[in-house]
Chains A and B, each alone.
Chain A
Amino acid sequence: MGRILCPTRGGEGSYRTQDAAIAMAKERGDELVFLYVVDLDFLNKTERAVRPDVVAEEMRHLGEFLLGMAQERAHNQGVDAAYVLREGDVQAEIEAAALEEEATMVVLGQSAADDPACAFAPESLLRFAQKIEAGTGIETRVVC
Chain B
Amino acid sequence: MSELGRCERRHRKISRLLFAGLIVVALASSLVHQLLPASAADSRRPELVGWVTDPLGEPVQNAEVSMYADGMKEPIAVAESQGDGEFALELPEVPFETLSVDVSRPHFHSQTWSPTPDELELLRQGATIRLPDITMERRITLGFWVATLTFVGMLALIALERLHNTMAALLGAAIVLGVSSVGSPLNPDLFILDFEQALQYVDFDVIFLVMGMMIVIGILEATGIFQWTAYQAYRLSRGRAWLLAIILMILTSVASAMLDNVTTMLLMTPITLEIALVLGINPLALIIPEVLASNIGGISTLIGTPTNILIGSYADIGFADFLINLTPGVVLAQTALTIYVLVVFRRQYREVSGGLSPAMLDRLRENGRITRPKTLAKAGTVFVLMLLLFIFGEQIHLVPAVTAILGAAVMLLVVDTDIQEMLKVVDWTTLMFFIALFMVIGALQEVGLISLIAAGIKQLVGENLNLALLVIVWSGALLSGVIDNIPFTAAMLPVVGYLTRTIPGASSKVLFYGLSVGSAMGGNSTLIGSSPNMVTAGIAERAGYPVSYVAFLKVGLPATIITVAMGTIWLLIRF
Contacts and interface: CB of A to CB of B under 8 A. Distances in A.
A13 B266 contact: no
- Central interface residue in A44, A62, A72, by most chain B CB within 10 Å: A62
Contacts of B541: 9, 42, 118
Nearest to A39: B542
B543 interface: yes
Contact of B543 (A45, A49, A62, A114): A62
B430 A72 contact: no
Interface stretch (A22-30, A51-59, A98-106, A130-138): A51-59
Contacts of B357: 72
A43 to B, nearest CB: 7
B135 interface: no
Nearest to B487: A47
Contact of A47 (B359, B360, B486): B486
Contacts of B542: 9, 38-39, 42, 59, 62
A54 B543 contact: no
A132 to B, nearest CB: 20
Contact of A46 (B217, B426, B535): B535
Contacts of A9: 541-544
Contact of B544 (A13, A49, A72): A13
Contacts of A44: 164
A62 B270 CA distance: 6
A14 B544 contact: yes
Interface in B542-567: 542-546, 548
Contacts of A115: 546, 548
A45 B544 contact: no
Nearest to A46: B531
A122 to B, nearest CB: 15
Contacts of A89: none
Interface in B118-177: 161, 164-166
A50 interface: yes
Contacts of B270: 58-59, 61-62
Contacts of A65: 273-274, 277, 360, 363-364, 367
B360 A48 contact: no
B306 A69 contact: no
B182 interface: no
A42 to B, nearest CB: 2
A69 B277 contact: yes
Contacts of B210: 49
B360 A68 contact: yes
A11 B271 contact: no
Contacts of A11: 283, 543-545
Tell me the interface secondary structure of chain B in the complex: helix
A66 interface: yes
B56 interface: no
Contacts of B539: 42, 59, 62
Contacts of B254: none
| Interface range for B | 35 or more
A69 B531 contact: no
Tell me the interface secondary structure of chain A in the complex: helix
B535 A43 contact: yes
Given A44-B164, A65-B274, A51 B218 contact: yes
A64 interface: yes
A123 B461 CA distance: 54
A7 B210 CA distance: 39
Contacts of A66: 277, 543-544
A112 B52 CA distance: 65
Given A46-B262, A54-B221, A58-B267, A113 B543 contact: no
A8 B356 CA distance: 18
Given A65-B364, A68-B363, A69-B356, A47 B535 contact: no
A59 B528 CA distance: 22
B106 to A, nearest CB: 30
A68 B359 contact: yes
Contact of B429 (A12, A47, A55, A69): A47
A45 B356 contact: no
A45 B538 CA distance: 9
A118 B547 CA distance: 12
A41 B543 CA distance: 14
Interface in B348-390: 356-357, 359-360, 363-364, 367
Interface of A: 8-14, 38-39, 41-51, 54-55, 58-59, 61-62, 64-66, 68-69, 72, 111, 113-115, 118
19 contacts: A9-B542, A9-B543, A42-B534, A46-B531, A47-B164, A47-B484, A49-B425, A51-B221, A58-B227, A58-B267, A58-B271, A59-B539, A65-B273, A65-B363, A68-B360, A69-B356, A69-B360, A111-B546, A115-B546
**Nearest 6 pairs of A and B residues by beta carbon:** A11-B544, A42-B538, A49-B427, A47-B165, A46-B531, A62-B270
Given A39-B542, A47-B164, A51-B222, 13 more contacts: A8-B544, A11-B283, A11-B543, A45-B531, A47-B531, A48-B427, A59-B270, A62-B539, A64-B363, A65-B274, A68-B360, A72-B357, A111-B544
